[in-house]
Structure 1
Amino acid sequence: MATFLFQGFNPIIPLFIWVLILLVCFGVSWWSYSYLESVKPVKKWSLIALRGTVFAILAMILLNPFFIDRTVDRSSPLINIYLDNSQSLTVERGEYAGEESYEQIREEIFNQLDDSFDYNLYLFDRTVYEGSEVTADGAVTNLQSVVDHKLENQQSAVASLLFSDGIYTQDRNPIFSAQNLSSPIFTIPVGDTTEVQDVLIADIEYNSVSYTQTEQQFRVQVQQEGFEGESVTVQFLKDGNLIDSEEVAFPESVSSHTVRFSDRHEEEGFFDYEINIPGLEGEFTLQNNRERFTVEVIDEKTKIVSLSFEIHPDVGSFRRLIATDSQNELISATRLGGGNLTGQDPADLDSDPDLIILHGLPEPGDPLLEWVESMDNVPVIYFLLPASQQRHVRLDERNFLTFSYENARQALLDIHLMQELEPYSHPLLEFSAQDYRRFPTLKTHRSDLSTSPLSETLFTGEFQREATGIPVIVTEAAGSRRLAGVHAFGWHRFETTANETVSAFYTQFFTDLFSWTATSPDHRNLNIEPVKPSFTETEDVEIRATLVNERQDPETDATIEIQITSAQDDETRNFIMRHTGGGNYRVNAGTLPEGVYQINGEAVKGDRNMGEDQARFDVSRSMVEFVNTQRDDQLLQQLAVRSGGEFLQDLSLEPLYNYLRENELDQAVETTREETRYLSNHPFWFILAILLLAVEWILRRTISLP
């Protein structure tokens, strides 16, 4: 129902001027017809009144009167219903018969719904979305998303119903934020709490990239419940063929076991592996007894020559790190005083290495310097050591150095790392932001350095919380090889620290640095690759690309379109990549179902094709929804109580409607909408003025006036 309430005037001109205008208008109206002595008084005064009324309407509009248009809508109270759409609800457990039981529970509840209320239905797994058709195919369960959805829309619903087994596999525990809700959640249990017998694959540890002529290890964690005294066979398959198996005995009713397999790679390529556990009699589900994954095998090991020209703990730390990676073949040599050389002379190698690492620098005239310079197509990493600076100044123009000294000083600074580029903006920075001030300090010279225009500075130094601008880690990918320079020493403290975050950073970053530098730069205009070769169904697939023009300058104004095609069903998904700066592009393809996928990309600028590229990745099935399938009644109870609702274990909605009646929330909801309307915005008054003028003209014609 709508009503109009007069509120007042908002005059365009001062009131006393408006009064003068009104008097003038009426005076003009009277004067216009006062000379008509022979016309009947009725017609004469009618003409005066008509013109005066038109003037009055126009004068009134100058006062700008306004009204409130008030509309009151009545609607039934709203209840939101959230339906769990995750895979765990398909598992048959105890008296719970999977999807059939879930449908029966929904039907029993829906038959009790009171028609005096309105209902909105939502599905949830990873997020909340509108819908009522349960497919139970969600790869994760995010109960926190339900609470977040209610917080965003809590003014619209008087209460909510939540169908769930209380098991969340993504985000945080929802009970902590449930107490912030202004309307209650009434939880409806789905699933079964019965203790059942089950064997499952809890985790598989493996490297997604391996190398030919190496033996790769696979670590499988198997968990079981309820099979004391029995045993299973854990099968290890490659490309569908059984290559190994191991018997695992279960001495207790609940236990966890680690099984190790290995496979030697003779050929390069992609290989599909599978861990399978044949089901035991009485096992409640076989969905968590199998897991598939893919390993990419790259040809040959990486031959790394490590040359040291000083004795320093950093040398041993880096050599140990290189030796622990099975892909690497380490050749070490150290130049001692008097020109003596320990280790293998790199000049005696049968073939060129894949990477040269210089710990310090040789003296001019050293045969090792000549050998390094002769390897002009081999990537080089140079690590600063305490005595390196003076030698560096004498060797400043050598082609394997990524920085040079403009003003060399001997003074040392204790610095912390300061990251110059954004996380994930460079292949060596594929990690979240770190608090480097909690890391051990490094030592570097207080010198002025210059870097090549083709290089990128990943890290600089920070001294006493002030940026120094001194490059610490510099990379270069121009020409036929990659180069890197590390202008600091003291890295051995990163290896030996008790801080696991620091040691993990040290291991990951320098492992990636060695691998990245040893790889030849690809000078195709367009390079597309997934951020990692393998994902699970619960992970977002991230694709990145770099694009340069014909001059090898970063191209920032192109369109890169990619197609992701499934090898199983040829289904294709199209995406446009987003430019993130410096010729780097990125796209989030969201979650994808299990399978192997091909990426085909094309870069276009205007009508010009700037390049094409392909890549591949695989998505493995996520077992997270099948690791724990026992209904968590305690969480459902706490979620209901903390929000002000109840746990409806007997599947009766009576507590819900009693709560609504007691709190007078079962009454129709009146929603009032008010809108300010100005008379000058309505065409009615202008139409009325025209009609009055038309009547005046007709009346004038009856007395022969023009």
Structure 2
Amino acid sequence: MTTEILLYIILAGITALFLAVFQYKNKKKSMSKLNMLFAFLRFISVFSILLLLINPSFEQIKLFTEKPNLVILTDNSSSIKHLKQDQQALSLIKNITSNKKLNDKFNLEFYTFAETLKASDSVFFNEKQTNISNAFNKLTQVNKERTSPTLLITDGNQTYGSDYQFVSSFYKQPIYPIILGDTITYTDLKIQQLNVNKYAYLKNRFPVEAILVYNGHNTVNSRFVVTKGNTTVYSETINFSKTNNSKVINFTLPTNNVGVSNYKATLVPLKSEKNSINNTKNFAIEVINQKTKIAIVSDFSHPDLGALKKSIESNEQRSVLFLNTKEIINQVNDFQLVILYQPNYKFKSIYNLLDAQNKNRFTVTGTKTDLNFLNRIAQPYSHVVTNQREEYQAELNINYSPFIIDDLNFESFPPLNSNYGELTFSIPFETILRKTVRGVSTKDPLLATFEINNRREALLLGENIWRWRAQSYINNKSFNQFDDFIGKLIQYLASNKKKNRLNVEYESFYDGNSNIVIKAEFFDKNYVFDTRESLNITVINNETKEKKIFPLILKSNKYQVDLSNLPASKYNFTIKTTNENISKSGSFQILEYNVEQQFLNANVTKLEQLAINSKGISYFIDDTHDLVNNLLNDNRYVPIQKSIKNTIPLIEWKFLLAIIALSLAIEWFLRKYNGLI
């Protein structure tokens, strides 16, 4: 409070006293006791009102002690139970929780991790994948400002993700790894990796690459065997030694039947092996009868052509051939789909031939497209010719009905170069992507599909789609999302199947450790996406005949269900609507494989390096008796006394208002009681 405010308060007190005495002092020499009481009450009222007008401020200081956090981060993956360390881990967590000294010094925070980080002290050691680096990345966002030493209770075996021994570059807290497992080296053979394509073609051979690893000191012999059912389809004798401890085997297998074929690869275990689970891997391949052939027709080179070819051929069921306007004429019958890139008058004979054969097509326009030619050849659309150029970005139409489209964050993609002008259709059409200019949607189609005379067509109004593929890689560190988008469009255009109100997206088989998510879309009778419907999936295990029913959840404009908890087996399923009698059935297979059971030991080297990099200390689970004392005695982890200073204006003091009201009420009541009013 300043001196000036203090002087104002003193002046207010004198003024209030003067007014009170002036009102109740009569010409008599002295006041009666009743008048003195009235004067006092009036002084209180006037002085309080003047204080509110002056509104002085008071500083309030609150002191509190902030304890450091102690983060207990526990590996919840099944490898802990596989290494028989689960009970020791639970015992350690219980001891930490019940330690009074630790609770007095730290705020204990419990987290579990496997694929994702969860705030919980409940550990079941049942998750299928481990990503240690991701757990620290999430914790960085939680504990930015406070000292938070971290106990990492794990075997250090990570199945995917960045190398966690360098997380100290962004996680600025000491880390204390509690190592679950031992350092004993066991003799072990294992199949490190199997590389095999997902698809193969009938009456062909598909390649398989097997990487085999030996851990031991002696020279040993084994046999690598691949079986299909009860039939051995490949076998080879393998020799290992201490120095020659890995082998790469390349071979091919025949494809004789259409459909999914299942195989089992086995590296025959040694008698002394402790873990034989990692000696076997299952794999499958889907055999298809023919390859979809697609022609891309253009009279000049452009990066878009290569990008389209890469995206389309990412699915091995498809092949792409580049042709010019002359070469395509005699080969058009060899292709299920023709992509016409920036057509001009030279394309006239191609369009006539495609129309005569009623063949599906995909037209891509750009700055070199002859729009007058396109308008003249009687297409079901017409583009206003302005001879001006414009750059358009894309906006996904979530109500697109013919097939399921994932949102690739199209708004982040660079604009396509296109011709300025309005596009009009003479037939019904479906918009996949709309044009936007500087973030404002024009509602005009950028990519659209339509059906006419039982054929399917698509129209893309822009060039430089190769930039979209590059941006998709930047966004997702992979081309897969963009390639899948193009693949779905090509699959739709290359077939003539009737449009369905219920569309289901799933794979023929899934690896045992992958996420098994089945997606569906349901449309009303006008083929507008219907969010009011309820979908259920009935899944039947072909081996046990066990039947389970799961609801599909509406998420990101799709209905989907996660079946990752189903055991390895073959399954039939039916997705059915609740309000209408519409359903779709299919089948898939889950291959048996648990990556968490491939480990024999804790990854001691990485965990010790992690402790060194983060200025922590590593402990084996049997040697944690000094852990608590080290944490309690470490001077880096001391409580910090902090203060909060608040400036409170008097006008916010509600008691002063109550005093004014009370003093005025008492004065009025006494005056009324004594007949002075």
Pairing of 1:193-212 with structure 2 (within 5 A): 193-206=183-196, 208=198
Letter in 2 for 1:51: R
Deviation track 1:549-580 (CA, whole Å, cap 9, x = no partner) reads: 6555x55x84565556654562635522234x
Q: CA deviation at 1:189?
A: 1.6
2:236 match: 248
Q: 1:281 to 1:694 in 2, by over 3 A?
A: same
Shift of 1:49: 0.7
Per the TM alignment, residue 380 of structure 1 is displaced from its structure 2 partner at its CA by 2.8
- Give the distance between the partners of 1:209 and 1:374, measured in 2 at CA: 34
Residue of structure 1 in register with 2:456 after alignment:
482
How many residue pairs were aligned?
632
Q: Secondary structure at the match of 2:451?
A: coil
Q: Which residue pairs with 2:496 in the alignment?
A: 520
Q: Is the 8 A contact 2:172 2:614 kept in 1?
A: yes
Contact 1:335 1:342 (8 Å CA) reproduced: no
**Residue 99 of structure 1 is aligned with which of 73, 86, 90?**
86
Cross-structure match for 2:378: 397
Shift in Å, 1:672: 3.9
Q: Is the Cα–Cα contact under 8 Å of residues 527 and 547 in structure 1 kept in the other structure? A: yes
Partner residue of 2:133 out of 112, 119, 144: 144
* Cα distance in structure 2, aligned partners of 1:24 and 1:610: 87
Deviation at 1:45, TM superposition (A): 0.8
**Partners of 1:235 and 1:242 within 8 A in 2:** no
Alpha-carbon deviations, 1:118-156, whole Å to 9, x = none? 433322212332333432222222222343354331544
Matched residue type, 2:553: F
Q: Report deviation, 1:107.
A: 7.2
SS in 2 for 1:123: strand
User: 1:361 and 1:288, CA in 2 relative to 1: closer, same or farther beyond 3 A?
Assistant: farther
Cα deviation, residue 188, structure 1: 1.9
- Conserved? CA contact 1:274–1:290, under 8 Å: no
1:168 alignment partner in structure 2: 158
Match of 1:496 in 2: none
2:131 is matched by which residue type in structure 1?
N
| Whole-angstrom distance in 2 between the partners of 1:176 and 1:10 | 60
Cα distance in 2 for partners of 1:126, 1:445 equals 43
Structure 1 residue 69 displacement after superposition: 4.3
- Counterpart contact for 1:592–1:619, Cα < 8 Å: no
* Within-5 A mapping of 1:203-602: 203-206=193-196, 208=198, 217=206, 219=208, 221-226=210-215, 228-232=219-223, 234-237=225-228, 241-253=229-241, 254-256=245-247, 257-258=249-250, 260-266=252-258, 271=260, 273=262, 275=264, 277=266, 280-291=270-281, 301=290, 346=333, 354-355=336-337, 372-376=354-358, 378-381=359-362, 396-398=377-379, 406=385, 420=394, 452=425, 454=429, 476-479=449-452, 480-484=454-458, 514-520=490-496, 522-530=498-506, 536=511, 550-552=525-527, 558-559=531-532, 563=536, 567=540, 570=548, 572=550, 574-579=552-557, 585=558, 594=567, 600=575
Give 1:540 shift. Answer: 5.3
Matched, 1:680 2:668: no
1:654 to 626, 642, 646: 626
Pair 1:705–1:205, CA change in 2 (3 A):
same
Query: By how many angstroms is 1:654 displaced?
Result: 3.3
Q: Which residue number in structure 2 is paired with residue 663 of structure 1?
A: 635
CA–CA distance in 2 between the matches of 1:575 and 1:307?
39
Q: TM-score, normalised by structure 1?
A: 0.67
| Mapped partners of 1:108, 1:477: distance in 2 | 67
Cα distance in 1 between the residues matched to 2:412 and 2:36:
90
Q: 2:338 touches 2:362 (CA, 8 Å); kept in 1?
A: yes
Q: Is the 8 A contact 1:140 1:169 kept in 2?
A: yes
1:90 to 61, 81, 89: 81
Deviates more, 1:40-49 or 1:627-636: 627-636
Q: Deviations over 1:213-233 (max 9, x none)?
A: 666747362523248543246
Aligned AA (1:651): D
Any idea what SS the aligned residue of 1:169 has? coil
Is this contact kept in 2: 1:141–1:170, CA < 8 A?
yes
Identity of aligned residues (%): 16
Q: Which digits, 9 at most, give the CA deviation of each residue in 1:519-573, with x for residues without a partner?
A: 236533453425x665556655666666666555x55x84565556654562635
Shift of 1:86: 1.8
Cα deviation code 1:176-235 (max 9, x no counterpart): 341454431122222233332334444445555678x66674736252324854324635
Once residues 286 and 109 of structure 1 are traced to their aligned partners in structure 2, the CA distance between those partners, rounded to angstroms, is: 35
**Take 2:645 and 2:70, find their aligned partners in 1: how far apart are those partners?**
26
Q: Is the 8 A contact 2:551 2:561 kept in 1?
A: no
Cα deviation 1:281-306 (Å, max 9, x = unaligned): 333324434555676677x6467596
- Give 1:128's aligned amino acid: L
SS in 2 for 1:188: strand
2:72 counterpart residue number: 81
**Cα distance, 1:601–1:682 mapped onto 2, change above 3 Å:** farther
The residue identity in structure 2 corresponding to 1:373 is D
Counterpart-to-counterpart distance in 2, 1:275 and 1:172: 30
Q: Distance in 2 between matches of 1:599 and 1:59?
A: 79
Aligned to 1:466: none
- The answer for the alignment partner of 1:497 in structure 2 is none
The CA distance in 2 between the partners of 1:423 and 1:143, in whole Å, is: 38
The equivalent residue for 1:495 is none
CA contact (8 A) 2:312 2:318 kept: yes
Could you tell me which amino acid in structure 2 is paired with residue 524 of structure 1? N
Could you say if the C-alpha distance between residues 433 and 550 of structure 1 is closer, same or farther in structure 2, counting changes exceeding 3 Å? Answer: closer
Q: Residue 84 of structure 1: CA displacement?
A: 1.6
Cα distance in structure 2, aligned partners of 1:573 and 1:10? 72
Contact 1:125 1:141 (C-alpha < 8 Å) held by counterparts: yes
Describe the SS at the equivalent of 2:278.
coil
Secondary structure of 2:605's partner?
helix
1:127 aligned residue: 116
Determine if contact 2:311/2:482 at 8 Å carries over to the other structure. no
**Structure 1 residues without counterparts, runs of 5 or longer:** 1-6, 461-470, 492-500, 580-584
Partner of 1:191: 181
SS at match of 1:161: strand
Q: Secondary structure at the match of 2:264?
A: strand
* TM-score computed with the length of structure 2 as normaliser: 0.69
What SS does structure 2 have at the residue aligned with 1:705? coil
Instruction: Kindly indicate whether residue 609 of structure 2 is the aligned counterpart of residue 638 of structure 1.
Output: yes
* Cα distance between partner residues in 2 of 1:332 and 1:561: 45
DSSP 3-state at the match of 1:80: strand
